Amino acid sequence: MSERLAIVILNWNGKTWLEKFLPGVILFSEKAKVYVIDNLSTDDSVPYLQANFPDVGIVINNQNYGFAGGYNEGLKKINAEYYCLLNSDVEVTENWISPVLDLFERNSEIAAIQPKILSYQNKNFFEFAGAGGGLIDNLGYPYCRGRIFDDLEEDKGQYNDEMEIFWASGCCLFIRSKDFWEQNGFDARFFAHQEEIDLCWRLINTGKKIYYTGKSKVYHVGGGTLNKQNAQKTYLNIRNNLSMMLKNLPFPQLIWLIFFRLCLDGVAGIYFGVKNGFPHLWAVVRAHFGFYGQAVQTWKLRQSYQKDQFYQSKWLIFKHFL
């Protein structure tokens, strides 16, 4: 039997987060069934869930597939009209579900929705991963209302609206299951980082809409698996962003923009190396070779149609840093 909404938390050695936040998810999710997909944890996450939360559905993957592949594998065993893909380090709030489901029901073209995402540590400010809704500039750099690069805004009600956005954050992503599977889910090659932007971009290219609602809010810790200073995060973000553009950009913009971004990445690599150390410079180099290694397969994944005007802001990086 299919549920209306499944709240699905992907876990890998995250017992501490489950202890802290899962009780609140259960308390405020009376309209949904809660599941945990476990990416073959080596801690005692699963025995802890079994002993303390018998009503939570548990799906155990046979290996650690990462964020993208982990959800793809686990969701095959969960039957629901809507999924909410929720990070384990997210605190939900009372009535966080109803505004999202209401918005889905008002507009059948909406494939995915994100709530307002605030910082758990500083609850008056937006959080890096999603903030007031994800957008993208004409160079392919993702940003958010309420967050541009590392600059975060204070929440003063300026994003209490509902509006169409470009991408919904994977830390709290509501999505119609049929739309998720029509796109074959996330690109598992991404492993983690920007897989949700790629999925939203693919949905937009098929005529679907992505939305934000400020009537629902959650608080995100962030950096629960890889913190912002981790060189592997630099590698994944750059490699995946380039692959995402190769897959989804309309062809007239593709050649010049990929070349320009590769040049900008070189400058960014030097900056990262000076600011954060050599491993981050090397991560940029590795990311480029990782992108080249996937390029043929990525090209084969291009859809038959890419929307021509994909961006919401021109030259964001230059406006911000110059």
pLDDT tens for 215-268 read: 999 999 986 445 556 889 989 999 999 999 999 998 888 889 999 999 998 888
pLDDT value of residue 317: 59
With a cut of 90, say whether residue 11 has pLDDT above it. Answer: yes
Give the total residue count for the chain: 322
pLDDT value of residue 148: 84
pLDDT value of residue 269: 84
pLDDT value of residue 320: 54
Q: Mean of the pLDDT values across residues 61-84?
A: 97
Q: Mean of the pLDDT values across residues 113-138?
A: 95
pLDDT value of residue 318: 57
With cut-offs at 50, 70 and 90, classify the pLDDT of residue 311: low
**252, two tokens:** 């007239």
Model pTM?
0.92
Q: What is the mean pLDDT of the chain?
A: 92
Rounded to a whole number of angstroms, the CA Rg of the chain reads 19
**210, two tokens:** 């992505």
pLDDT tens for 173-222 read: 999 999 999 999 999 999 999 999 999 999 999 999 999 999 999 999 98
Count of CB atoms situated within 10 Å of the CB of 194: 23
pLDDT value of residue 276: 80
